[in-house]
A and B are shown apart, each in its own frame.
Chain A
């Protein structure tokens, strides 16, 4: 049996006028893998992620995500992935329960399924006392944990996390990563960008982009050996300079 691949990218390219933001990148991500997508500011990470999530069209090459061609099946693709970023995740002026109901509706869950999911999230994150509180009144660390649970409410094959822990306190940051591990153990593939290099080390495999290309890709152990480094921080600096 061949391993299931949740992302296959082949020479994926995106140009803006004369500028090539993403330059023929090719990689696979396996089912249940935690895949760290790193790079310097301006290296093309955001552009690549936008193509993989169906927000931006590609200029060349092809890719499939969760089994859908990113060019031909953009809308179906969007329904079958989860997405969460630091900047936009939940509606601040809706309560916790309303947010869950909203996203359940967006992703086509039935009333019954949504209710079941709501109960599950509230119980797992221990949120009973704030389930009717406006999101704007909930501390950031909790919000990010809720946002992650909401992003996988429709049990997608893959969830994209864009700097999910930026500005979060160090204990909550680690609790957040426990949620990521749990999701991965349940077979959800996790595609994550971060500027915290300790978090990069939690990933099964790490890809590093520089100037539109993938400069390195491998497990932490492989990258440390190849670049003769003690930490991912060192690897990053060697590659990005």
Chain B
């Protein structure tokens, strides 16, 4: 449905995208996972025909993003990261506006947005600017869906959104997927990756790795330990001096320690004990996408 071949985009000396290639198959929910500044927004703007690539080629449903832009705009539902709603129009007026622009009516495609719109209905006369972050995103998604697009392009739809609204939003995406819509979604939240069929981990305009979330997690190349202690900050400092450490990062109230295969539990426990760390528990765990991402990052830049 989407084919991206060696797409590069430069702004002056700054390379926003550096020869990116991937494909999104029909019906897939594909995630671009990476921090701000990794080039996600530039890619979305290229795919929606709003920006021309410096080199490379992209097609959306077979249409070329440069030459066939009129066709693309009809079949794509785009939710940009910023400015997708008219803040001084009401909820209902926004939706009506987008329906009219695409030459359709709310009633015609109401089934697509019904579930989301029911959550918005109590506020339908409220101005979009006065909605909470989670509600704004639901309205923006409704507006992107109202012309029954074949492909949804969602640029960081869950940034600034609380964990509950974020879960609701992903539930909606999963349901839309069942109705046959192809979705490309970007997010800086690593745990969102697990909800996608396939993800590309992106950083500084390049793809670090691309696979199913399961394969990415299984491909973590080190032994990974979850260490719960009385004081994370101290544990991290103490682990700095653990010679066979590959990396150590805090994860909520625990620390994830990566080591080589030959390191055993006793060696870690002894080291912590020697430095007076009060250990609560230690166990070998499966890597999260975030572990994978940080591991790939540290190869990239040697830690800044």
List A residues at the B interface (Cβ < 8 Å). Answer: 39-43, 139-142, 163, 166-172, 174, 177-178, 181, 195-198, 200-202, 220, 231-233, 236-237, 240-241
Q: Are A237 and B167 in contact (CB under 8 A)?
A: yes
Q: Contacts A40-B134, A42-B133, A240-B162 hold; do A177 and B250 have CB atoms under 8 A apart?
A: yes
Q: Are B35 and A168 in contact (CB under 8 A)?
A: yes
| Complex Cα spacing A167 to B132, Å | 19
Q: Contacts A42-B132, A42-B133 hold; do A170 and B250 have CB atoms under 8 A apart?
A: no
Q: Are B297 and A202 in contact (CB under 8 A)?
A: no
Closest-by-CB residue of B relative to A19 is B130
Q: Are A163 and B132 in contact (CB under 8 A)?
A: no
Q: Are B164 and A170 in contact (CB under 8 A)?
A: no
| Complex Cα spacing A166 to B133, Å | 14
Closest-by-CB residue of B relative to A87 is B160
| Complex Cα spacing A161 to B63, Å | 45
Question: Across the interface, which residues of B come within 8 angstroms of A174, CB to CB?
Answer: 249-250
Q: Are A202 and B135 in contact (CB under 8 A)?
A: no
Question: Across the interface, which residues of A come within 8 angstroms of B189, CB to CB?
Answer: 196
Closest-by-CB residue of A relative to B293 is A170
Q: Are A40 and B251 in contact (CB under 8 A)?
A: no
Q: Are B252 and A201 in contact (CB under 8 A)?
A: yes
| Cβ-based interface call for B253 (8 A) | yes
Q: Contacts A141-B35, A171-B297 hold; do A41 and B165 have CB atoms under 8 A apart?
A: yes
Q: Name the distance in Å between B295's Cβ and chain A's nearest Cβ.
A: 10
Query: Contact flags (1/0) for B236-249 with A, using CB distance below 8 Å?
Result: 00000000000001
| Complex Cα spacing A39 to B250, Å | 23
Closest-by-CB residue of B relative to A40 is B162
Q: Shortest 9 CB-CB distances between A and B: which pairs?
A: A42-B132, A169-B35, A201-B252, A167-B36, A41-B133, A41-B132, A198-B252, A41-B134, A240-B164
Q: Return 30 A-B CB contacts under 8 Å, by A number.
A: A40-B165, A41-B135, A41-B165, A42-B133, A139-B37, A140-B36, A140-B37, A163-B160, A167-B36, A168-B35, A169-B34, A169-B35, A169-B188, A170-B190, A170-B249, A170-B294, A171-B249, A171-B294, A171-B298, A172-B35, A172-B304, A177-B250, A195-B163, A197-B163, A202-B253, A236-B162, A237-B163, A237-B164, A240-B162, A240-B164
| Cβ-based interface call for B210 (8 A) | no
| Complex Cα spacing A187 to B132, Å | 34
Q: Are B162 and A41 in contact (CB under 8 A)?
A: yes
